[in-house]
Amino acid sequence: MTHALAVLSTALLFGGMALYSFGFAAFLFSALPAAQAGAALRRAFPWFYSFVIAVAGMAALVWWPYNPTMAAVMAAISATTVPVRQLLMPAINRATDAGQRRRFQWLHGLSVLVTLGHIGASGWVLTSLA
């Protein structure tokens, strides 16, 4: 049963990150004016990162008895999301508020790379099961 929970929590993490990154954000920008979409995303991102931290942390705990490598990957996702949520996201918001377009682009690009890395890492765990 716990092994199933490890797999399901990893799948929830992978699916949640992919849906948020490729579905929700794109939907907001297609459904709302850019300023409103940006404001909505700014409010949603702390929740997204909290979701990643919590679900990846839970997955790490339930993977541990079965596969310490997969547990370590999940723990790394959780741990590396904390500075993204607490440091990088506020820096992105400050750059936006100050009209620092170039700085925003660089910081936002970094956050995208981290998120893609997390999606890839959780996808690796899932495909390793096949």
**DSSP line for 47-115:** HHHHHHHHHHHHHHHHHTTT-HHHHHHHHHHHHHHHHIIIIIHHHHHHHHHTT-HHHHHHHHHHHHHHH
Q: Are 7 and 50 in contact (CB under 8 A)?
A: no
Residue appearing with tokens 């409010």: 43
Q: How many CA atoms lie within 13 A of 112 on its CB side?
A: 8
Q: Are 80 and 121 in contact (CB under 8 A)?
A: no
Q: Where are the domains of the chain?
A: 2-128
- Is 1 a residue whose pLDDT tops 90? no
Task: Encode pLDDT of 118-130 as tens digits.
Answer: 999 999 999 998 8
Q: Are 92 and 108 in contact (CB under 8 A)?
A: yes
d(CA 45, CA 85): 8
Q: What is the model's pTM? A: 0.95
Higher-confidence residue of 79 and 35: namely: 79
Q: Mean pLDDT, to the nearest integer, of 103-115?
A: 97
Task: Encode pLDDT of 38-57 as tens digits.
Answer: 999 999 999 999 999 999 99
pLDDT of residue 113: 98
